[in-house]
Amino acid sequence: MMDQFKKLGDVSWEDADINRFSRLDRYWTNKSSVLRGKIHERSTKVYVQKAVEQIGLTPADMMKEYRLKGVEFGRWLNTPERYDHFCSGMLALEDLANVMGTHNLGMDHHIGLAFGARGNGGRRPAAAHFEPLTFMINLTKENGASCFAHEYGHALDYFFGMYVDLNTLSPSLSGGREVGSSHYWGKRGKYRRMMLEILTHIMKTESYKRWHKSKSRNYYCNHTEMFARCFEQWVADELHKKGVVNRYLTVQAELYAKGSAYLSEDEKKTVWPEMKRLVKEMAKAANEK
């Protein structure tokens, strides 16, 4: 199985032949700013569809390889769209596994992935979301791409808070939607202590001071969102180091510093060592399962 999955590493965005009439095609064409694949030239090139077809991968294989709880497709996704999201999700999972240092991304079938299956629609709907009660990550049909890493950050926050490093006052490591420097009381294991270090460094930044003054401070400054945004930004940087751009996981690494909701280049220097330490311990626990 692992040898088969390595073949996915040969897929380049230049070769992606995702159905041109599906809504996801803009994430794969070189006519847009959305790219996936190695920045440098690859020695072997295959089409995304052909890679999946030749290897014979199915959603069941995705669940088995990454130990996912489940894979869901929404009723409003037609066949080409389901196929496109599956191909994109497969490549995103492989790239995320390489960054995390574990293929057990589902944490022994606790975390699942849904494509356009659990959104509520309506006015200004969320592009993606994580459900702590079901441990499902939902990526919407039209706008879910680039949100995967962010929502997976939420999944890690709640999984380790509810199953590994428990505290009766908070189901998440971060303290959930708590805002400000005050922290919940109670027992703190090593994962909660490492999370606290990350949040403490974030709250010392100029970016945090700016978020705290904004009208949306309850969103920008709540602990679980701060962690998810920083995890997303860290994943983008780690992909960049590997020469990879995967717009289904994150936006391009250099764009984060230009965004008001993310850390600057200088601020990352104090936060990233703590983030790397936490992720390393999480991966170690996942590999021991």
- pLDDT digit string (tens) for 174-198? 998 888 765 666 678 999 999 999 9
Long-range (24+ apart) CB contacts under 8 A made by 35-40 are 35/245, 35/247, 35/252, 36/88, 36/91, 36/245, 36/246, 36/247, 36/248, 37/11, 37/12, 37/13, 37/244, 37/245, 37/246, 38/12, 38/243, 38/244, 39/243, 39/244, 39/245, 40/243
**Residue 71 · residue 113 · CB < 8 Å:** yes
Interval 123-166: pLDDT, tens: 566 788 999 999 999 998 878 888 999 999 999 999 999 999 99
Average pLDDT, the chain: 80
pTM of the model: 0.84
What is the average per-residue pLDDT within 93-113? 95
Q: What is the mean pLDDT of residues 229-254?
A: 90
Taking residues 228-237, report their average pLDDT.
97
For the cut 70, the answer to whether the pLDDT of residue 69 exceeds it is yes
* Mean pLDDT to the nearest integer, 261-273: 96
Q: pLDDT at residue 97 above 90?
A: yes
The Cα–Cα gap between 37 and 141 comes to: 22
Give pLDDT, residue 16: 41
* Helix H or strand E encompassing 194: helix 190-202
30 pLDDT exceeds 50? no
Which pLDDT belongs to residue 199?
A: 95
Q: What values do phi and psi take at 138, rounded to 5?
A: -110, 130
Share of residues in the chain with pLDDT > 70 (%)? 76
What pLDDT, on a 0 to 100 scale, did the predictor assign at position 272? 98
pLDDT of res. 53: 52
The residue-averaged pLDDT of 222-234 equals 96
pLDDT band at 41 (very low <50, low <70, confident <90, very high): very low
In terms of average pLDDT, the best of 42-51, 98-107, 127-136 is 98-107
pLDDT at 17: 43
Residue 216 DSSP label: T
Percent above pLDDT 90 for the chain: 48
Q: 125, 119 in Cβ contact below 8 A?
A: yes
Q: Let me know if 6 is exposed, middle or buried by CB neighbors in 10 A (0-12, 13-18, 19+).
A: exposed
The highest-confidence range among 24-33, 39-48, 56-65, by mean pLDDT, is 56-65
Helix (H) or strand (E) run with residue 86 in it: helix 79-100
